[in-house]
Structure 1
Amino acid sequence: MNQHTPLRDLLDSSGPLLLVPDAVLLPEGPAADHAVVVADGVFTAVGPTGELVGRHPDTTPVRLPGHLLMPGFVDAHHHLTQSFGAALAFGEPSEIFRRVWVPLEGALDEESAYVAAKLAALEALRGGFTTVTDAGTRADVDVDVIATAARDAGLRCVLGLVCNDQDGPAPAGPGVLERAEKHLVRYEGDPLVHASLAVSIPEAATEETLRRTAALAAEAGAVVQIHVNEHLAAVERSLLTHGLRPLEHLHAIGALGPQLLAAHATLLTPRELTLLATTGAAVSYNPVASAWKGNAVAPATAMAERGIRFGLGTDGTRGDGFRLAEAAEFAQRIAYGLAAGDSSCGAGWTWLEHATRGGADAVGLGARTGTIAPGLAADFLLVDVTTPELALSRDLPWELVRRGNRDQITAVFVAGRLRTWCGGPVGWDGSALVRRAAALAEATVSRAAVTRAHPTSARARAAVAGRERSTAR
């Protein structure tokens, strides 16, 4: 038993918890001498420590010296069943979904889809994400496999059902819209899984399906996830087909509104920014994906200024909430801030806001999670602020964005339950999952008809060395 075990045992409790950290991260900033009460999966009270201790005399306070209690991160865009091929995207040009992701997901069976999704969920939890938004899988399995994987891992999941009907063979069985209606009610009352609809790209569905899925989602209070204005090729295809850019096309057919979660939206005109602002549509800003395989960086600081709703998404690149927030700020600085002489680029708090509360709002869960407040789900992190990176902080929001890392996360809670402790899952064997995933990934990638434009880094280096030797001769 190590020195942390007694504290872990106190936290891994089904009863009410009165947690007393050094500070609580509220929307207005870190609040010292504050505590929270967690019961039945939600925050039942948040306020000054003395006041809460006095109001709950029968609950023993759990002191958390050296820790910040903050909202869990919300991943606004993920592909949980693509985890087996994460490294296949390295060095690849944009629009790789046809060459890599479609064949990879097509090679998944029920077990491999479950293990891939649970592996991605574990990585997300280790990185401080308490919610992920899955954009739908093309694997030929019941989408409930992904729901089960997320639930078993202890991760909150906004689960997309792909509603494509103009992208290859039509789905078997009931029509797309009938399947969409059933999916939207399938998880009613589920504490962790929340239904969403998805269309891969606008041209993957008929105009009628785009309109109807938008209406169904709006009625159900859900979101429709669509990759929009991500790559130059997609914009050009839309211009040639419709005479409009993808976002303009969605607006023209009546599919643009608060129910839309536009993934990426990196290539936006001033008019399209106005459309987003006036219709209330939300965006998933995915800065790491832009760096790894994109054509541009979404103008997130401009979105913030215009009041456009947006969250931060990983796109399955890496599951570290702090590194995602840092990438969000860094990408804005490189793409826009340096040229304009903007030394602030969101002042730190902007990226924490949109990694948590803003992200929850963008994915349709703003009334359920994303903030430390009474009545909201107890989805939160305990962050060690005594590390060399954070101990000398004079501006904690900036420090969390610039110097935070997942190894500073002591505990992750979702729906009031301890889900990870010092990076390891609580209540199940993470090492066994990783071993099984490694075996299944090898077999899955081997049978998938993946086409890559670039070799592995080792082969690329060998090719460079070969050219250098030839030149030397």
Structure 2
Amino acid sequence: MSESQFIIKPRWLVTMDEGPQVREQHAILVDAGKIKAIVPKSDIPDWAVDWPVVDCSQHVVMPGLINLHTHSSMNLLKGYADDYALMPWLNEHIWPAEKRWVSPAFVQDGSLLACAEMLAGGITTFNDMYFFPQATIEAAKRTGMRAHIGLTIMEFPSNYAATASEYIRLGTEVRDQYKSESSISFSFAPHAPYTVSDQTFTDVVTLAEQLNLGIHTHLHETQAEIAQSQEQFGVRPLQRLQALGVIGPSTVLAHGVHLEKYEQETLATLGAHIAHCPSSNLKLASGIAPVASALRSGINIGLGTDGAASNNRLDLWQEMRTAALLAKVSAQQAEAVPAYQALQMATINGATALGLQAQIGSISVGKQADLIAVRLDELNSLPCFDPISHLVYVASREQVTHTWVNGQLRYQRLPDGQPQFAGIETEALRSIALQWQLKMQQPAD
């Protein structure tokens, strides 16, 4: 018997796959990082009867959550500049701070903190966009997370690169270095229409086709972005990117707050995906995305937290609940985005957007064992008539007790409530955060 073989026995199983939404009294058999079988608890096959058992008798077990848009290392800028609209926030606070502080060490340490926060909240995969992607990859590898790395590209110089061509060169070098890593995947990440030229977008499209990579960019986050595009290019950003060939079935568009109905239909026809980030959109006063309408148009929508500098949490439980509630009130339809659809947005929809739906996003035989256990017997969760409703409208990330990635236990909440991570001690994470806080509070020379 191998240590990689074990059985999880939950009270409820939510697979996010075809079939019943909830299965009771079933067990998941995990072997070598993959889901080997799903059987009634009373029907454990003879070949697995001696496998170790993880008792989750008061839990829901479900697929790991997928954070479809974040800037993980910006955890070190959590609370650094609050209560500003997007462009003043970027121009007057975030970009100057990044110019002063961003380095490989900043990115790796910030990403370590982000990975720990995400794992403790049941997030097993994140779609990142930031500088020094190698440092983010190393943080993900240390903590055991699955990472989809956006290779950031823009026209403006940073501590990472000086020109668009240098961003592209450095990004492709990182991709070449890590392309054999099974838990790491890549896309090109031209930052936004207002930071990337037509020529660079064209170059990215060509390279993405040659290397079979997707494209991850911000789009229609604010009305100001749209007005700037109309003034500079004579068209709205989506029309410009469509003409440049950016929009397609391998494109993930972060935010999509201001999309007209015809634009939603265009995105659906072209097969592009939206990373909906409701908390960040609210905090920056960017607006409320037309999610109910976009879903009806046929767009695949996943959920993202954005970075902790503009949220300030990497908490997909909060995003699920907020996404469902905002969709109801903006559409004035209580049935808009029901609980199960919100769960889809946080799991299988995100996997589909990243082209990873054959590996993760649902619990089915042959897929990777990216799983989480959520305890529902605490007072705030009782009584429980419908576990799916509770997962979206009641549960919090503090109720996640186990997080497995590739069948490896990467986080557990101990009986005394303390977090335990694989790959790094909790006290080491606290030390990293405090050291950066002290450093960043020092006055500039």
In the alignment, the residues of structure 2 paired with residue 227 and residue 200 of structure 1 have an alpha-carbon distance, to the nearest angstrom, of: 6
1:18 aligns with: 7
In the alignment, the residues of structure 2 paired with residue 251 and residue 29 of structure 1 have an alpha-carbon distance, to the nearest angstrom, of: 37
Moved more, 58-67 or 288-297: 58-67
Larger Cα Rg: Structure 1 or Structure 2? Answer: 1
Q: 1:78·1:132 contact (CA, 8 Å) conserved in 2?
A: yes
Aligned positions of 1:69-148 closer than 5 A: 69-95=61-87, 96-106=89-99, 107-137=101-131, 142-148=132-138
Aligned positions of 1:142-221 closer than 5 A: 142-164=132-154, 166-168=155-157, 171=162, 175-221=166-212
Q: Deviation at 1:55? A: 5.2
Q: Deviation at 1:257? A: 0.6
Q: 2:126·2:147 contact (CA, 8 Å) conserved in 1?
A: yes
In structure 2, give the amino acid aligned to 1:143: P
SS at match of 1:150: helix
In the alignment, the residues of structure 2 paired with residue 224 and residue 101 of structure 1 have an alpha-carbon distance, to the nearest angstrom, of: 24
Partner of residue 426 from structure 1, selected from 422, 428, 441: 422
1:44 aligns with: 36
Q: Deviation at 1:364? A: 2.9
Cα RMSD after superposing both structures: 2.3
Q: Deviation at 1:447? A: 5.7
Q: 2:5·2:32 contact (CA, 8 Å) conserved in 1?
A: yes
Aligned positions of 1:386-465 closer than 5 A: 386-422=377-413, 423-444=419-440, 446=442
In the alignment, the residues of structure 2 paired with residue 182 and residue 428 of structure 1 have an alpha-carbon distance, to the nearest angstrom, of: 28
Residues 83-119 of structure 1: CA deviation (Å, up to 9, x unaligned): 1211124211222222232222221233232111111
- TM-score norm. by structure 2 comes to 0.90
In structure 1, give the amino acid aligned to 2:223: L
SS at match of 1:315: coil
Q: Deviation at 1:174? A: 6.4
Q: Deviation at 1:33? A: 2.2
In the alignment, the residues of structure 1 paired with residue 229 and residue 90 of structure 2 have an alpha-carbon distance, to the nearest angstrom, of: 17
Matched, 1:319 2:311: no
SS at match of 1:371: coil
Q: Deviation at 1:266? A: 0.2
Q: 1:230·1:294 contact (CA, 8 Å) conserved in 2?
A: no
| CA 428–375 in structure 1, closer or farther in 2 if over 3 Å, else same | same
Q: Deviation at 1:218? A: 4.4
| CA 448–74 in structure 1, closer or farther in 2 if over 3 Å, else same | farther
**Which blocks of at least 5 consecutive residues in structure 2 are unaligned?**
414-418
In the alignment, the residues of structure 1 paired with residue 164 and residue 269 of structure 2 have an alpha-carbon distance, to the nearest angstrom, of: 38
Q: 1:72·1:412 contact (CA, 8 Å) conserved in 2?
A: yes
Aligned positions of 1:250-329 closer than 5 A: 250-316=241-307, 317=311, 318-329=313-324
**Which blocks of at least 5 consecutive residues in structure 1 are unaligned?**
1-9, 450-473
Aligned residues: 429
Q: 1:265·1:283 contact (CA, 8 Å) conserved in 2?
A: yes
In structure 2, give the amino acid aligned to 1:393: C
In the alignment, the residues of structure 1 paired with residue 428 and residue 54 of structure 2 have an alpha-carbon distance, to the nearest angstrom, of: 32
| CA 448–363 in structure 1, closer or farther in 2 if over 3 Å, else same | farther
Q: 2:81·2:94 contact (CA, 8 Å) conserved in 1?
A: no
Residues 245-304 of structure 1: CA deviation (Å, up to 9, x unaligned): 111110011111112111111001112101110101111000001110032111112222
2:48 aligns with: 56
In the alignment, the residues of structure 1 paired with residue 179 and residue 401 of structure 2 have an alpha-carbon distance, to the nearest angstrom, of: 32
In structure 2, give the amino acid aligned to 1:320: D
SS at match of 1:410: strand
In structure 1, give the amino acid aligned to 2:13: V
SS at match of 2:365: coil
In the alignment, the residues of structure 1 paired with residue 364 and residue 303 of structure 2 have an alpha-carbon distance, to the nearest angstrom, of: 21
Q: 2:156·2:162 contact (CA, 8 Å) conserved in 1?
A: no
In the alignment, the residues of structure 2 paired with residue 271 and residue 311 of structure 1 have an alpha-carbon distance, to the nearest angstrom, of: 20
Partner of residue 333 from structure 1, selected from 328, 353, 361: 328
Q: Deviation at 1:167? A: 2.8
| CA 415–351 in structure 1, closer or farther in 2 if over 3 Å, else same | same
In the alignment, the residues of structure 2 paired with residue 392 and residue 83 of structure 1 have an alpha-carbon distance, to the nearest angstrom, of: 35
Q: Deviation at 1:58? A: 4.4
Q: Deviation at 1:14? A: 3.2
Q: 1:257·1:279 contact (CA, 8 Å) conserved in 2?
A: yes
Amino-acid identity (%): 25
| CA 424–324 in structure 1, closer or farther in 2 if over 3 Å, else same | farther
SS at match of 2:185: strand
In the alignment, the residues of structure 2 paired with residue 188 and residue 53 of structure 1 have an alpha-carbon distance, to the nearest angstrom, of: 37
Q: Deviation at 1:205? A: 2.1
Q: Deviation at 1:51? A: 3.9
In structure 2, give the amino acid aligned to 1:149: A
Q: Deviation at 1:201? A: 0.9
SS at match of 1:263: strand
